[in-house]
A and B are shown apart, each in its own frame.
Chain A
Amino acid sequence: MSSYVPSTEEQRLEMLKAVGVSSFEDLYADVPEGMRLKEGDLKLPDGMSEMEMLAKMKELAAENKIFSSIFRGAGAYNHYIPSVVKRVTAKEEFVTAYTPYQAEISQGVLQSIFEYQTMICELTGMEASNASVYDGASAAAEAVAMCRDRRRNKVLISGASNPEVIKVVKTYCFGSGVECVIIPAKEGKTDIAALKDALDETVAGVYVHQPSFYGVLEDCSAIADVTHEAGALFIMGINPIVASVVKSPAECGADIAVGEGQPLGMPMAFGGPYLGFMACREKLQRKLPGRIVGQTTDDAGRRCFVLTLQAREQHIRREKASSNICSNEALCALTAAVYMGTMGPNGLREVANQCYAKAHYLATQITEIPGFSLVYPGSFFNEFVTTCPGCTDELLSALEEKDILGGLPVEEGILWCATELNSKEQIDGLVSAIKEVFGK
């Protein structure tokens, strides 16, 4: 019904005439007759007015269940998004601009990315950050590509990593031919002894996420040490909220830091758009994939910002480029920067501390119910696995009826998650709902 084409019938005729043709068909003379679609060939319905389309989309949205309390994480987290973050990132220019190729009219985007890069460096302790990649999983896969060299073509991935990340890294390795070895997890975290055994002079990099998929805090300093002893690089994945209070990747000795930026102000949104952040030591910065913004001066000596170190990128290196990325997640990077600016250092730490406190309160309450106990002994952050004394599906369905999204069923039991959005009342409500299902 609408194609957002502004020219009138009269103007179209005038323009066709100026071009020297008499119809739209004439414009497609190069398309061989045999493959050209004829009226009615395409089985697509007619368009809709804005009102009709909006109603249709509302109908679809209404067929999704919005849970009033959410105790599920596993790679996507339900955090509070301050209003100012939503307002700022909805500004039409930020939303509709292309990649800032023309620096003179794109200083706003360029500066916002420079500020984002700085914040990611602060959070991870690293010296260089790129302007973002697609998500945390593809960031891990891109980091693996950074580690590879002529003699080292193997990567070790901790089996305690998020299964989504493992799957993506494996898929990228199928492409590149890098050998990908999974080190089985032990007690919900990386098996450092097994890792040490697997390390040799063919290993390019080791990937471990803090905390583990099961919520357990890893000893990343020890992992960095064994990795470096074998001459490999340590890629440390980290939850950005966690990074504000636990040892940063730099403090642990990591060479590359990556992670899923979704907790920094992005809605869960059925999986995206999210944000892959990537930072590294200065010595590796020319191996970073994707856009990087740098500070410089203009012809009048004024400070300004520009896309830089482009000799790394696909449009220059073509088949010699190790990554093909061009579009990234710029608006999500902006969102993360506005979120971090809004929360500030104390606010971000407070989010982390509340997540930690609520998860520990939740764990204490759940494990008081007979049959529920912590599966792993280590310290955890805001996720943890418990046993479940009965049918997991039955429990989760009962919770669903009370508008609660329970933890994620995993092989060992249930992976629970709490954030600052889970009030004490919600947690107590969850616990009594569980008790209703599995006796008192």
Chain B
Amino acid sequence: MKLIFERSVPGRRCYILPKCDVPFEDIPDDMKRQKALRLPELSEVDISRHYTTLNKQVFGVNCGFYPLGSCTMKYNPAVHEEIVGFPGFQAIHPLQPDHTVQGCLKAIELLKVRLCELLGMDSMTFQPAAGAHGEFTGILLIKAYLRDHGGEARDKIIVPDSAHGTNPATANMCGYKVVNIPSAPDGSVDLDALRAAVGPDTAGLMLTNPNTLGMFDKNILEITNIVHEAGGLCYYDGANMNAIMGTVRPGDMGFDVIHLNLHKTFSTPHGGGGPGSGAVGVKEILVDYLPGKDTVKENGEFVLKEPPKSIGSVRSFNGNFLVYLRALAYVLSLGGKGLHEASQNAVLNANYLRVLLKPHCRTSNEGICMHEFVLTIEDLHKKYGVSASDIAKGMLDCGVHPPTMYFPLIVDEALMFEPTETETKEVLDESAEAIIGLLKQAATDPEALHKAPVTTPVGRPDEVTAARSPIIRYMDFDA
């Protein structure tokens, strides 16, 4: 595909702006930019065709099965895109007076109330722009709380070795030392290891439940108790929330603070990498510390108010408004029963796919899983030299988006599948058949799998050269 710069023709343009209707004013000479601005010069039809060409080489949820583990690639309802296009949401300046943005404030309040009920939390902020940003916010809340309650010397965050990489990275960003604790063989928290790890230096624990192996940790109350008794707080990584809506609430498991990935569980589209929204819910003890501004009702009208002990702001203004507005649309459409039904079917679909694949490949755990499960290709790798990556690349030739590869780190040659509730039985049957075909091919023709994919626009990229001699911008302007 041509780069947009390779389509550029000097003198070509789009016709967008009217002539300026006020006198021209010249920028002071000593302030002027000297270097030429080498943006492409294109007509509108060039733009349209260039991006149509690019868009053909993008795999969206609308293209096919997307069982990317931990990413919850469920269908993104079409009506949400219509709603975010309303001028009454698009044309609103973030610093308009409160009485002129009652619709926005009501939307925030409504979403806050509904999600708090679903999570068992007392309040919420929508300022964080992504899941990792929500984690950062949550750990800062814990830090601020401990500072005010004689816990300033607490400098350690406990993270199980099965955790998402963002957990330890978040703790580090917040100035904490990370204590990695090993998981029990089934992926659950090793209670003895946890008891040994907590102490007067414990600030908190970061945990996802169900864990990254897709298992619900039965000991969850004991886990949060151990941390609380040691004087720490408990952080819930909500990446796996799609498993449990309507069945159990993080607040009832003993968590003090939680982030949600609204771009996962609440079906806002992921845009090829973002924008997301990492809403953070908290229990009463942390409400006064929330960042940004909170919606408060005064004299029958909503106003934005900074919480009294706010940690500050993690992003400008009110966060990714149009993203969490879609989440509100989703919550309104589904209601309590629909959200419950979504989670139940996410778990059912994962288990159904698991039993279809199980006779052909080992899973990390025996028995019922939650919304995702992990296959290990270790045996095929040892016997035939076929890796998890080879199987994933083979799936590309079958029109199925591969699962998450090599995660969690505690499973060798891991492939993590999360089918979500919006897939049909037919899709699961067909995809399972394709994957089983690949698993069988590992024994009969491993060489072919090493070469996969062969039907995609490009083959496997040379990642080593890309990292060793990085070319991260176009430079042949004069060619």
**A210-257 contacts to B (CB < 8 Å):** 217, 243-248, 250-251
**B28-58 contacts to A (CB < 8 Å):** 28, 31-42, 44, 47-48, 50-58
Distance between Cα atoms of A47 and B329 in the complex (Å): 10
A-B contact count (CB 8 A): 684
Residues of A within 8 A of B12 (CB): 344
Q: Is B95 an interface residue (CB 8 A)?
A: yes
Q: Decide if A268 touches B90 in the complex (CB within 8 Å).
A: yes
Pick the interface stretch among A106-114, A184-192, A197-205, A368-376: A106-114
Q: Decide if B313 touches A324 in the complex (CB within 8 Å).
A: no
Q: Given A30-B216, A70-B93, A134-B133 in contact, is the A98-B73 Cβ separation under 8 Å? A: yes
What's the least CB distance linking A428 to chain B, in Å? 10
What's the least CB distance linking A7 to chain B, in Å? 6
Residues of A within 8 A of B71 (CB): 98
Report 19 cross-chain contacts, Cβ distance below 8 Å, ordered by A residue.
A6-B422, A15-B349, A18-B352, A44-B118, A53-B332, A63-B102, A66-B91, A67-B91, A97-B271, A111-B3, A115-B3, A122-B39, A136-B316, A177-B175, A251-B33, A321-B169, A327-B275, A349-B37, A361-B22
Given A95-B76, A268-B90, 10 further pairs, Cβ under 8 A: A5-B342, A31-B247, A53-B333, A175-B136, A300-B458, A315-B166, A318-B178, A330-B273, A344-B13, A346-B41
Q: Decide if A121 touches B473 in the complex (CB within 8 Å).
A: yes
Q: Which residue of the partner chain, among B47, B220, B355, contacts A18 with CB atoms under 8 Å?
A: B355
Q: Which residue of the partner chain, among A72, A244, A316, contacts B165 with CB atoms under 8 Å?
A: A316
Q: Given A175-B140, A273-B129 in contact, is the A72-B93 Cβ separation under 8 Å? A: yes
Q: Give A122's nearest chain B residue, CB to CB.
A: B38
Q: Decide if B58 touches A31 in the complex (CB within 8 Å).
A: no
Q: Given A122-B38, A343-B39 in contact, is the A327-B276 Cβ separation under 8 Å? A: yes
Residues of A within 8 A of B472 (CB): 114, 117, 128-129, 285, 292-295, 308-309
Distance between Cα atoms of A373 and B77 in the complex (Å): 52
Give the number of residues in A that approach B within 8 Å (Cβ atoms): 205
Residues 285-312 of chain A, each 1 if its beta carbon lies under 8 Å from chain B, else 0: 1000001111111111010111011110
Q: Give B144's nearest chain A residue, CB to CB.
A: A174
Q: Is B421 an interface residue (CB 8 A)?
A: yes
Residues of B within 8 A of A427 (CB): 22
Give the number of residues in B that approach A within 8 Å (Cβ atoms): 200
**B203-244 contacts to A (CB < 8 Å):** 215-218, 220-221, 244
Residues 160-187 of chain B, each 1 if its beta carbon lies under 8 Å from chain A, else 0: 0000111011111111001010000000
Q: Decide if A98 touches B94 in the complex (CB within 8 Å).
A: no
Residues of B within 8 A of A96 (CB): 60-62, 76, 269-271
Q: Give A136's nearest chain B residue, CB to CB.
A: B316
Q: Is A341 an interface residue (CB 8 A)?
A: yes
Q: Decide if A135 touches B129 in the complex (CB within 8 Å).
A: yes
Q: Decide if B165 touches A318 in the complex (CB within 8 Å).
A: yes
**A46-74 contacts to B (CB < 8 Å):** 46-50, 53-54, 56-67, 70, 72, 74
